[in-house]
Structure 1
Amino acid sequence: MATPEMMTEADQIKTFKDFLVQYNKLSELCFNDCVHDFTSRTLRSSEEKCTSNCMEKYLRANQRVSQRFHEFQMIANENMIALAQKSGNPS
């Protein structure tokens, strides 16, 4: 993964836009799932708890998926290196 110093300005803008899209999707998802009473300007405690749980669950799931993807990517890279060494084509 590229560090912020290695990324071009266009890459940084794209990364930020991707983050905002994900954030907005999460906000909409949790809002639609948790907020049902529009008779008050404030969230009820049950709505607030629901949105917090929704966000935490999403973030934990996203972290787990990212971790598993990284693990599979490492295995795939190791397999490609082993295959290249077997065939006599060092990379």
Structure 2
Amino acid sequence: MTVVRFVMTLSRASCTILSDSLSKALVASSNSRILGSLRIALAMAILCFCPPESCVPCSPTEVAKPWEMPKKVLEILQKLLHPLWALFLI
């Protein structure tokens, strides 16, 4: 009886240790993924606010002016908004 219980206890202990080590490995994997994502986000923010001086920009250097809409867009907006303004004027 004593020998059987001792073996069962060892068996349970080894299962618990194996389960704990697998769980810790999964947590460590998730932790490294999260930290990796944070490092990438930090690197992107640093490059955005402190770009290297010798680098040619990848994007256009001019800023679009939203108040300078093309004539066609203004015409479409006027057609869409005209019925709505008529409701307020009644």
Taking structure 1 as the reference length, what is the TM-score of the superposition? Answer: 0.48
Largest Rg, 1 or 2: 2
Whose relative contact order is higher, 1 or 2, with alpha carbons under 8 Å and at least 6 apart? 1
Taking structure 2 as the reference length, what is the TM-score of the superposition? Answer: 0.49
